[in-house]
Amino acid sequence: MDSSFDEFYMQRCLQLAKLGAGNVAPNPMVGAVLVYEGRIIGEGYHRQYGFAHAEVNCVHSVKPEDQHLIPAATMYVSLEPCAHYGKTPPCAELIVSQQISTVVIGCVDTFSQVAGKGIGILKAAGITVRTGVLEAAARELNSRFFTFHEQKRPYIILKWAQNADGFMAGADGRPVRISNPLTDRLVHRWRSEEMGILVGTNTAVADNPRLNNRLWTGKDPVRIVIDRTLKTPREYHLWHGPATLFITAEQAEKQDTAEMVTADFSQPLLPQLMKILHDRRILSVLVEGGAHVLREMTEAGLWDEARVIIGDNPFALGVKAPVLPHALLKETQILESDQILFYRNIKEEKTA
């Protein structure tokens, strides 16, 4: 088949996969399409963690009058079909049972329990397999998943708001309104798409933040607070509501939805933090501050994306925003009075 047709249908797989954002982690986002003689007869995506995968939903979407076409159809899937029994049976075995003749895959799954095994099952059954179609886009779609499994840490997104003079808070460290209400809603959408959200002690104490996505829909992220001596007042929002992990040197019992995780603050903290989050299968973290935590992350090169909101509040003194090393500007977005800059860490891209 002409490679342009493969890319056309794979693009549809990627479109479908994105619909699972915020609902499928720690699983990857996956889309699948069944094509018979240039006609899509079925399509599906992984909708929610613990439920049917994309390939299953794709096969089940085929209308009764088209089901006899399935063995002669080509299945396009954005990620290698799974080969292990988890919360659902292996998708590779489903494809074999449906006698689908050809499977086209966006990228190989490097997760150790799959890692080529799904492709092996398909080929052993005599199925024609083509791989690497829109591979870069397929890996980019699941950059959180691949970073987690390949680098043994969450995918890190830095986020802050600053004014045109580069200040992100007032001179006394107190929060200052910078972004507009429309951008606030966008930030809450970002929160709904990540598994965790991180702040340091100063932000927790000064802002009394909720760190939920009340201006959007979907699940709240796990709130992660670096608070060595548990200075965050017990009546603050972070002790109640959605789950919170306090990274601390103190020994304390779990309170309501807040859990204390002990770290050794006499040793470098960031490697310990990455291991704690990896062990808890938190694939991605949105780091919202404050300035000290953001600088620690940038200086360590421990970030994958940064989203910088530039508002029009013209205060001339305050806390300076971090400087991003090895940053590549990928996109600029305008939301009314705010400008949003999207960066990628090109050093991490080269070493990944």
Is 207 a known ligand-binding residue?
yes
Is 288 a known ligand-binding residue?
yes
Question: Cβ distance 9 to 206 under 8 Å?
Answer: no
CA distance 181 to 121: 51
Is 316 a known ligand-binding residue?
no
Angle at 280 between CA 106 and CA 247, to 5 degrees: 130
Q: Longest C-alpha distance within the chain, in Å? A: 70
Q: Which of 55, 80, 194, 296 is catalytic?
A: 55
55 is catalytic: yes
Q: Tell me the DSSP string of 214-247.
A: TTS-SPPPEEEEE-TT--S-TTSGGGSSS-EEEE
CA distance 125 to 53: 21
Is 335 a known ligand-binding residue?
no
Residue type present at position 63: K
Q: Kindly give, in sequence order, each residue whose CB lies less than 8 Å from that of residue 240, ignoring residues fewer than 6 positions away.
A: 256, 257, 258
Is 53 a known ligand-binding residue?
yes
Is 82 a known ligand-binding residue?
yes
Is 211 a known ligand-binding residue?
yes
Question: Cβ distance 321 to 167 under 8 Å?
Answer: yes
Question: Cβ distance 22 to 188 under 8 Å?
Answer: no
- Per the annotation, binding residues for NADP(+) are 161, 207
- Per the annotation, binding residues are 53, 82, 91, 161, 191, 203, 207, 211, 214, 288
- Per the annotation, binding residues for substrate are 191, 203, 211, 214, 288
Catalytic (active-site) positions = 55
- Per the annotation, binding residues for Zn(2+) are 53, 82, 91
